[in-house]
Amino acid sequence: MTHLLLIRHGVNDTQKEHLLAGWTPGIHLNQIGQAQALALAERLSSVEIAAVYASPLERTLETAEIVAAPHHLPVVTRQELGEVRYGRWTGQSLERLRRRRLWRTVQVTPSRARFPGGEGIYEMQTRVVAELERLHTQHPKQTIAIVSHADLIKAAVAHYVGLHLDLFQRLVISPASLTMLALSDAMPRLLCLNDTGHLVAVVGGEEK
């Protein structure tokens, strides 16, 4: 059985500004995000982690490096763990995007949603699940940490618990949260979802 520790990156300032960051370069953890990552790293310091993988974006890499430090592990980047490719929606305000007709599709029937100039949500789910399956094969009977983004983690969880993609928006994945899957050749199991217990002492730990 392979245990996957699915971690969302910590808080960054685009979340306070209510912008859809996507693949925008140069977005880093703010002070709260760094504190969140440190709290998570301390929680996982006694766990025997074999490898740490991350989306190539700065905010995920920074979170992953903090988590990896107590284990003296390098962070391996994987494009397939990167954020949803939002295309022309990238960098726009959520307030403006909510007025678009596509917004309702994204919320109600996301399996049919495709971002203009970007990818479909179904395609995103397919690529992240394929990557998790590859990592499962590479790390039999090991525990690995995977730092990614909220929608990717939600889509992966939906796949492994048999939840239709059109319902994945009902799941919540908070910044610096921990979600844990156990994969074997038989039935996958969800061991925890959106665990933020380590953030109780972090100022702003409840920030979404």
For the stretch 17-26, pLDDT in tens is: 889 999 999 9
Q: Given a cut of 90, is residue 201 above it in pLDDT?
A: no
For the stretch 126-175, pLDDT in tens is: 999 999 999 999 999 999 999 999 999 999 999 999 999 999 999 999 99
Q: What is the pTM of this model?
A: 0.94
- Comparing C-alpha atoms, which of 97, 203, 82 is closest to residue 148? 82
Q: Can you give the pLDDT at residue 208?
A: 39
Q: Can you give the pLDDT at residue 205?
A: 45
Give the side-chain half-sphere CA count within 13 A for 68: 21
User: Could you tell me the CATH superfamily of domain 2-199?
Assistant: Phosphoglycerate mutase-like (3.40.50.1240)
Reported residue count of the chain is 208
Alpha-carbon distance of 87 to 117, in angstroms, equals 4
Alpha-carbon distance of 84 to 173, in angstroms, equals 15
- Residues with Cβ within 8 Å of residue 109, at least 6 apart in sequence: 166
Q: Can you give the pLDDT at residue 86?
A: 97
Q: Given a cut of 60, is residue 206 above it in pLDDT?
A: no
Domain boundaries defined on the chain: 2-199
Residue 179, beta-bridge partner list: 6
CA distances from 63 to 121, 134, 176, 186, 208 (A): 24, 22, 8, 31, 16
Rounded to the nearest 10°, the torsion over CA 204, 156, 125, 45 is 60
More confident residue, 114 or 185: 114
